[in-house]
Structure 1
Amino acid sequence: MNIRITHIDIYTEQEIIRDGSLLLSDGVIASVCRTSEETADATRVINGTGLSVVPGYIDAHCHGGGGYDCNQGTEEALVKMRTFYGRHGVTTLYPTLAADLLPALEQGLQAVRSVMRQNQAGETEIAGCHLEGPFLNKVYKGSQAEDAILPMTDDHLRFYETYSDVIRRTTIAPEVGHNLDYFPALRAMNIQLSVGHSCAEYNEVLAAIEAGATSVTHLYNAMSQTKKTGSFRIGGVVEAALTQDALYAEIICDGYHLPNELIQIAYRCKGVGRLSVCSDASRAAGVVTHGDTIHSCGETYVVENGVVMNSTRTSLASSITPVDKMVRHLIFNVGLPAIDVVRMTSGTTAKMMGIFDRKGSIAVGKDADINIVDAQFNVVKTFCKGVPVGGE
């Protein structure tokens, strides 16, 4: 079926096409033009007057939502996550495993592998897994399970090899043990390497870049920054992320993890092409707002004032905010240009994850993953590979 959406503002990578026309055919974008220039027929026409179309959102760091999370290690949990985020405009999702014992991680990865094989049009695509740990630094563990954190060994490299078809991104602290030595082998598996939960000094991050690191995980959160050594100050992961063009910076923009001024600094330093918005959401997203506790990886967390914290309330754990709500926060509260925010939630993340050839922008030949949004950027309708999410 061909679907043409007319009289709609189209957010491309380069510009906003006013009164545009978009043709979806056989799962891909077949044409992008002004409504006055359209020529091809369509079996269904949608009048988009007063609306806009943006690329489907891509979330490369998401632990859970709708009452379920990836660490449950079941297909059911992942299917529920996929359904929940499909209702929030996420067309590509990387379910994220937090640090856990290896048997539990294997169970989670096997579930992701199985659900990846079930991907179909009209549903959020599960594109692989983000393994956030367990090869982290305990000093910056945040709310990760400390007992599960350990340095990487040859046995763990074989673990990655076994699941190299599933693990598309991993967060590692390069300064711990021999973790850095394994970076080249992991990159050879086409796994994106992200520095996070790390005490690394500036020069250690540079070494990680040289070894294959391409991003940092949740900028500002659970990472080193400027410190004084003797009479002198040295930078940490934060400063390396802000100054090194080789690194993408992933950032949580829920209005709780970071104040607006830190988001503004990141935006000015990195630019739209290197800043990727993620939810880092927990299973509480969409079901809990205040006062309840949740359990994951043997740990207990509390939800208060719009965010998840550890049981002692000394550390933020994750968000309860899907990316579509972060889009609205960035535009209407932080004050960033809408066209840039759209890129930070789609194209930039697609480039970071190596899938920009088929996703992340509205361009002819790419997957027809799109969101129709209103003037307040509420998601009105989502299409995954040209098929409406949730049916007609």
Structure 2
Amino acid sequence: MRKTLFTHGRVYVNGYFQETDLLVQDGRIAGFGGKADEVVDLEGQMLVPGFLDLHTHGGDGVDVNAATAEDLAKIGRFFAKNGTTGWLCSILTDTEEQTLWCIEQAKAAMGAPVTGAQLMGIHLEGPFLSVEYKGAMPEHLLQKGNAELFRKYQQAADGAVRYITVSPEVAGVVDMIGEIAGHVTVAIGHSGADYETACAAIDKGAACCTHTFNAMGLFHQHRPSIMGAVLERPVCCEAICDGRHLHPGSVRMLLACKGWDKVVAVTDSIQAAGLPDGHYKLGVNDVVVEDGDAKLVSNGVRAGSTLTTGQALKNLVKFTGESVEKVLPLLTANPARLIGMDHRKGTIDLGKDADLVILDQDLNVKATYVAGINVYAGEN
């Protein structure tokens, strides 16, 4: 029963930094003080819960839709450098055969020893999405609502599909949400749904909006649309805080409308994250990245991001003018609660997984721990 003590730093507990020691035993938070086999001197730095990214398509040269289990582990190691301790791999709309292959790779990666950020499960972005707001989705693979196909994917995943994005206006989707909402967290997005249809989806169990304001029908005072519905109703809203997908003022407006407990920061990153400008893939799509901005080669539509969670934290502090204490839940407690993993992750509490990040005063990631294991120890 190996014990590690983090000492001489500021620990983020109950929404505030406290000058206390933190004891980790067998991968879990064991107490606030005590004796240990190993002592980590924080040297006055901050110890915070690890970041959770629920919507990402890859990084460090790896695209989720083409990733083997080993490739997914590579993504996890890259994410750990940026403070991510847990993530969902977002499978872009693809053929049934390729989607099932991706699910098998994800299952294998989830069962492998921890070497980086933990793959917590799968996010299916489609295939039950709108043609009009398809973004980077292959149009010929988009489908009507089909609960049976979802159940096939969930059975193949042994229940590891934790999150799915659907478009409410697509035929059969609202009824599908009613069938599957108890088995997966449902988000609505890639959608031009009117206000009434979006509200019907929420009433059936949709709990979140995918990359809010992006790839969706926007608000009009006479036609509030899906945007008006998700701002008004008690659902969570994803936000890509890279300064490109959302103006800082839009981020502040979203927080003012929803409250700080209903916004979930995501990266929606692609394989280009962490790499120079150039040509990359997003599923079957060719993407060009210029000045860090990813767009489809075919039509110039923005296609994911090159954002990391570590940069998102810095951006949110800058965009809002708020303290890191207030911003942290958008990357930690809120995503954990959305997918029903807040009993294990998202905060520093007794018995929870010891998924921890050391930040310096400039919010740079200095070290990352997953289940008490040091998976990133800073740059050499």
TM superposition score normalised by structure 2: 0.95
Q: Which residue of 2 aligns with 1:131?
A: 124
2: CA distance, partners of 1:378 / 1:158: 41
Q: Which residue of 1 aligns with 2:104?
A: 110
Q: Which residue of 2 aligns with 1:240?
A: 229
1: CA distance, partners of 2:210 / 2:50: 22
1: CA distance, partners of 2:281 / 2:113: 28
2: CA distance, partners of 1:376 / 1:320: 21
> Quick check: 365-374 or 21-30, which moved more?
21-30
Q: Which residue of 2 aligns with 1:167?
A: 161
Give 1:166 deviation, angstroms: 2.1
2: CA distance, partners of 1:21 / 1:59: 27
Q: Which residue of 2 aligns with 1:23?
A: 23
Q: 2:364 aligns with which of 378, 387, 392?
A: 378
| Contact map agreement 2:100 2:153 (CA 8 A) in 1 | no
Q: What do residues 226-269 of structure 1 show as CA deviations (whole Å, max 9, x unaligned)?
A: 247xxxx1212222222212x11011001111110000001111
Q: 1:253 aligns with which of 241, 249, 271?
A: 241
2: CA distance, partners of 1:119 / 1:171: 29
1: CA distance, partners of 2:220 / 2:132: 15
| Contact map agreement 2:131 2:139 (CA 8 A) in 1 | yes
1: CA distance, partners of 2:319 / 2:202: 33
Q: What do residues 341-364 of structure 1 show as CA deviations (whole Å, max 9, x unaligned)?
A: 211000000000100001000111
2: CA distance, partners of 1:137 / 1:263: 25
Unmatched tracts of structure 2, length 5 or more: none
The AA in structure 1 aligned to 2:57 is: H
Q: CA RMSD in A?
A: 1.7
The AA in structure 2 aligned to 1:275 is: V
SS in 2 for 1:220: coil
2: CA distance, partners of 1:101 / 1:5: 47
| Contact map agreement 1:6 1:47 (CA 8 A) in 2 | yes
Q: 1:332 aligns with which of 318, 324, 337?
A: 318
| Contact map agreement 1:256 1:306 (CA 8 A) in 2 | no
The AA in structure 2 aligned to 1:160 is: Y
1:364 is aligned to 2:342: no
SS in 1 for 2:153: helix
SS in 1 for 2:367: strand
SS in 1 for 2:140: helix
2: CA distance, partners of 1:30 / 1:317: 42
The AA in structure 2 aligned to 1:92 is: G
| Contact map agreement 2:129 2:167 (CA 8 A) in 1 | yes
Q: Which residue of 2 aligns with 1:350?
A: 336
Q: How does 1:138-287 map to 2 (within 5 A)?
A: 138-153=131-146, 155-163=148-156, 165-188=159-182, 190-227=183-220, 233-245=222-234, 247-287=235-275
Give 1:7 deviation, angstroms: 2.0
| Contact map agreement 2:45 2:359 (CA 8 A) in 1 | yes
| Contact map agreement 1:13 1:347 (CA 8 A) in 2 | no
| Contact map agreement 1:282 1:318 (CA 8 A) in 2 | yes
Give 1:314 deviation, angstroms: 3.2
Which structure 1 residue ranges, 4+ long, deviate > 4 Å from structure 2? none
2: CA distance, partners of 1:112 / 1:381: 25
The AA in structure 1 aligned to 2:244 is: Y
2: CA distance, partners of 1:300 / 1:160: 26
The AA in structure 2 aligned to 1:341 is: V
| Contact map agreement 1:157 1:182 (CA 8 A) in 2 | no
| Contact map agreement 2:15 2:326 (CA 8 A) in 1 | no
> Quick check: 333-342 or 315-324, which moved more?
333-342
1:308 is aligned to 2:294: yes
| Contact map agreement 1:71 1:97 (CA 8 A) in 2 | yes
Q: Which residue of 2 aligns with 1:11?
A: 12
TM superposition score normalised by structure 1: 0.92
Q: Which residue of 2 aligns with 1:65?
A: 59
| Contact map agreement 2:165 2:210 (CA 8 A) in 1 | yes
SS in 2 for 1:127: strand
Distance 1:143 1:89, change over 3 A: same
SS in 2 for 1:199: coil
| Contact map agreement 1:73 1:107 (CA 8 A) in 2 | no
| Contact map agreement 2:83 2:357 (CA 8 A) in 1 | yes
Aligned identity (percent) is: 29
1: CA distance, partners of 2:302 / 2:102: 23
| Contact map agreement 2:367 2:377 (CA 8 A) in 1 | no
1: CA distance, partners of 2:245 / 2:289: 13
| Contact map agreement 1:9 1:52 (CA 8 A) in 2 | yes
The AA in structure 2 aligned to 1:24 is: V
> Quick check: 328-337 or 200-209, which moved more?
328-337
| Pairs aligned (count) | 376
SS in 1 for 2:334: helix
The AA in structure 2 aligned to 1:10 is: V
Give 1:158 deviation, angstroms: 4.0
SS in 2 for 1:194: strand
2: CA distance, partners of 1:54 / 1:48: 12
Q: What do residues 97-118 of structure 1 show as CA deviations (whole Å, max 9, x unaligned)?
A: 1111111111111111111121
Distance 1:236 1:333, change over 3 A: same
The AA in structure 2 aligned to 1:88 is: N
1: CA distance, partners of 2:44 / 2:52: 24
SS in 1 for 2:171: coil
